[in-house]
Amino acid sequence: MTDTVTVHVWQGDRLESYDDLLERDPDVYEVPVAETEFGRPHELTDNEQVQLAESIEHHGTYAFEIPNEERPATLNVHTNDSYHDPTEWGKPVERGLTFTEPDDREPYQCEMWGRIMMWVERTEDA
């Protein structure tokens, strides 16, 4: 059986306020935990990644959270707005969003554009 992590994602358009965004229920994803040697996107299988936006023209407001009972885990969110190399993901936002202990600042909120992909890896207990 594959280990999965529940990820809550709030998605809105680029002008939506975070207060309005978080009033809605999040989209819920069951993301398989990736098994990578170096933690790089090119190592992922298709079922280990979730595409949140396919168009490089996309521009939106997002919030991400992993529920407490699913922790510790790191959520890696990548963007790409390149016309020339649409498969190059680069480094994840904030070098990965590590969810360990509950935090009053959660969920992580950001504005993103371009293609968006996320994947999860297990984080060792500190």
Q: Decide: 77 and 97 in contact? Cβ < 8 Å.
A: yes
- Residue 20: CA atoms inside 13 Å, Cβ hemisphere, count? 8
pLDDT tens-digit map of 2-20:
699 999 999 999 999 999 9
Q: Decide: 63 and 27 in contact? Cβ < 8 Å.
A: no
What is this structure's pTM? 0.93
pLDDT tens-digit map of 47-65:
999 999 999 999 999 999 9
pLDDT tens-digit map of 66-101:
999 999 999 999 999 998 998 889 899 999 999 999
Residue 14 parent element (H or E) = none
